[in-house]
Amino acid sequence: MASELSRRTYSVTGGYDISVAELGQGPVVVFIHGSGPGASGASNFRQNAQVFADAGYRVILPDLIGYGASSKPETDYPLELFTQTLLDALKQHGITGGHLVGNSLGGGIALQIALDHPEFAVGKLVLMAPGCVAEQASYFTMPGIAKMRSGFGSPEFNKDEQRRLIGNLMHPSSAHHVTDALVEERFAVARTQPKDVLARVKTPNLGPRLGEVKQPIFVLWGLNDEFCPESHARIFLDAAPDVRCLTFSQTGHWVQVERAEEFNRYSLAFLNG
């Protein structure tokens, strides 16, 4: 039986509002979504959240600043802004620790929490094509970034563009995941976002610090990822003291969507182990 999704909004430092949804009961798992036009916690993890709740976890689905139902200021978006506003909202929500599941930018946020915020008791880390493990400029050389150029942030941005951008995140064999409902959901958010949420993101290179992460890490990567190269998995394998990695053929940037059944099964086994 599906759990009921509840949602609350919290005013955090800077006067911003951060929306937090949740379902299920048990040990806490915080899902941290990635970037992109229309992204939100619920839409990025729609095929995963209920499965984790059914497995006995309290699933937390925040919307990062600039995304979902949270505030979307016209400002710079350094990684620490995402991290601090998220942690502030989680604390007000009564969450001071738990496992972290992060995709892309969300993976970088999870790493920064583990590295620099001991006030949050991180359990294990599940990271899907995590960012922030190389210099920011190197990510802009990836072919997926070039394909993401669009009218986002302007009146010309439309649902057809939204559909194309979602499709770019995945391998062509995963096109069936680009449903009308997903396009509608993300387009409704994208229309409220300024260009700043993508154009003014500033991310550090946390790769040299991976050896400081003592928590167990599970990294999942698509071999056909055009945004965060699968070769970055080796950075984790070489540096982190407790890490395992799983890669998928014919899979792009959205492992949790394109390989949802396998992602859910392997990630839960990791958390339960």
**Residue 41: HSE in the Cβ half-sphere, 13 Å Cα cutoff:** 27
Which parts of 24-158 fold into alpha helices (H)?
A: 41-44, 49-54, 79-92, 105-116, 136-139, 143-147
Is the Cβ–Cβ distance between 87 and 113 less than 8 Å?
yes
Contacts of 270 (CB under 8 A, 6+ apart): 124, 126, 216, 218, 244
In the DSSP assignment, the letter for residue 75 is: S
Contacts of 106 (CB under 8 A, 6+ apart): 31, 32, 33, 34, 44, 64, 130
DSSP conformation letters of 211-227: GG--S-EEEEEETT-SS
Tell me if residue 177 is catalytic: no
- 3-class DSSP state of 169: coil
Contacts of 141 (CB under 8 A, 6+ apart): none
* Catalytic option among 99, 171, 232, 253: 253
Instruction: Please report how the helices 159-168 and 180-190 are oriented relative to each other, as an axis angle in degrees rounded to 10.
Output: 110
In the DSSP assignment, the letter for residue 159 is: H
Positions annotated as catalytic residues are: 253
